[in-house]
Amino acid sequence: MTHLAGVKSNRVRLDDVEAGASYHALEDAPQPSCTTLARPQCQRPVDDSLPPPTLSPHSIQEAVELSVQCFDILRNTSSKAANPPKSHVKLPRSNAICTSHYTWWSFVPVFLYRTFRKPANFYFLTIGFLQMIPPISPTNGVPLQFLPLSIVVLIDGIFAAIEDYHRHRADNDMNDTRCLRYNVTSGAFETAAWKDIVVGDLLQMQDNDVVPADLVVVATNGQVAAGCYIETKSLDGETNLKLREPLLQAQFDNVAEPDIAAILNGLEFAHDQPPTPNIHVHRGAVHCRMPNTLSVDAEDNMVTLPISVQHTAWRGCKIRNTQRIWGVVAYVGVDTKLMQGLKIQAMKQSTIDSVTDAQVILLVAMLVVLCVVGASLHTTWSTPALPSYLGRSAPDSPFIASFFYFLITMASILPITLNVSITAVKNLQGYRYIILF
């Protein structure tokens, strides 16, 4: 890890670098200014009758002045350092997320692309183009199929626009949610929007608060002496609470009044893992100075502590049964576990859509067989029986024209309102669920 001289910002600022190299972060990353630090029971019993230790504003100000000297985030340093890829990785600049599928300018092309990727819609689009060929068209070259297809696509587009509008509103509400972020200039926690959080920010959360970004829990304050509880129902569906341990709190348990500066001075974080949707695995380390050795030259007293999943709180988790926690932001935006999982889900297809597509392909295959049989019989019937000395084959075989003629004529074997009916039923059932509950 590389030490960077100078203090220029109260946040971590990340530049685009090659994957496998260090993501250098300038210092003064905001750090814990907790008023009470819980102590693990395994070290010594906690006396609930005693008032909790507190820190004066002067201690907090000194901590800010001594704050972090270096905050490096490393990715793939162990396995890919020898052969780093040539592609550049652009890190997110904010914690804002977007789960909507369309924008006002991309709605029409993207929606049409997704609509005609469905086998049923593509089938009727092909039938409409075939109707424009007079020799094989039973409609004399008039694409009558386009009229009902346009109505179906229009109705489907209205449902898609309404659904995506609700996504935009939900995204804006989430991005504008407020949380407590430490401000180095004022030396206090101030409210900030989730979308303004960046890597390296220090956040303070209370009981029942939702975690706005992937955090490394550094200190806690509550009834749980060994850490805090989080609820991960929004990530994995589990309702049981999970225990999380503060990363640095146990290391300073012997200090009567823990000084913020002792915890924050000279911290170096390293995350040896790229963003993944796996919420049960995390690898990293923090390089810190032990308490009572605040001298800059005391390099021998530096210790390296491992960061595991037990020290993390992912975005979307809820703090439970804990008065307060303090955590440093490790991943934001699309790099969080929650958004990484949504990326995988976006590429999946629902069971209803999969079954529908399979049934459509089966019906089209049956239709092709019927058309082949019909075209063969029509060719045999319409071809005159010539004498053997004149040859047995007609000069012009009508098989191809007959095949497409039968295909266009029997196209209604597949209902054109299939997809829009399924979409309408889904939306109506969703609104009914909202009204009932």
Point out the least confidently predicted range of 38-42, 56-60, 346-350: 38-42
Domain holding 211: CATH number? 2.70.150.10
Q: How far apart are CA 212 and CA 313, in angstroms?
A: 10
Asked if residue 334 and residue 203 are part of one domain, the reply reads yes
Give domain status of residue 219, yes or no: yes
Asked if residue 341 and residue 291 are part of one domain, the reply reads yes
Asked if residue 257 and residue 232 are part of one domain, the reply reads yes
Asked if residue 244 and residue 165 are part of one domain, the reply reads no
Other C-beta atoms lying within 10 Å of the C-beta of residue 368: 13
* pLDDT top residue among 79 and 362: 362
Give domain status of residue 258, yes or no: yes
For the cut 50, the answer to whether the pLDDT of residue 58 exceeds it is no
Asked if residue 235 and residue 87 are part of one domain, the reply reads yes
What band does 59 get if pLDDT is binned at 50, 70 and 90? Answer: very low
What pLDDT does 381 receive? 83
What pLDDT does 332 receive? 92
Do residues 253 and 280 make contact, with C-beta atoms less than 8 angstroms apart?
no
Do residues 246 and 218 make contact, with C-beta atoms less than 8 angstroms apart?
yes
For the cut 70, the answer to whether the pLDDT of residue 348 exceeds it is no
Average pLDDT over residues 134-146: 91
Asked if residue 358 and residue 332 are part of one domain, the reply reads no
Q: How far apart are CA 185 and CA 200, in angstroms?
A: 15
What pLDDT does 87 receive? 36
What pLDDT does 434 receive? 58
Number of domains in the chain: 2
User: What are 230's two structure tokens?
Assistant: 């989080």
For the cut 80, the answer to whether the pLDDT of residue 40 exceeds it is no
Give domain status of residue 5, yes or no: no
Residue 370 sits in which domain range? 107-171+349-382+394-436
In sequence order, the 6+-apart residues with CB closer than 8 A to the CB of 249 are: 37, 38, 39, 40, 218, 219, 220
Asked if residue 216 and residue 155 are part of one domain, the reply reads no
Do residues 268 and 23 make contact, with C-beta atoms less than 8 angstroms apart?
no
The amino acid sitting at 339 is M
- Quick check: pTM over 0.75? no
The amino acid sitting at 43 is Q
Question: Considering 318, 345, 372, which residue would you say is the last residue of a domain?
Answer: 345
Asked if residue 210 and residue 296 are part of one domain, the reply reads yes
What band does 107 get if pLDDT is binned at 50, 70 and 90? Answer: very high
Q: How far apart are CA 230 and CA 209, in angstroms?
A: 10
For the cut 50, the answer to whether the pLDDT of residue 201 exceeds it is yes
What pLDDT does 183 receive? 83
pLDDT digit string, tens, across residues 292-313: 544 444 455 667 778 889 989 9
Mean pLDDT of the chain: 72
Nearest Cα residue to 68 out of 258, 286, 326: 286
3-state secondary structure (DSSP) of residue 307:
strand
Beta strand segments in 238-336, E: 242-244, 268-271, 284-289, 302-307, 312-313, 318-320, 324-331
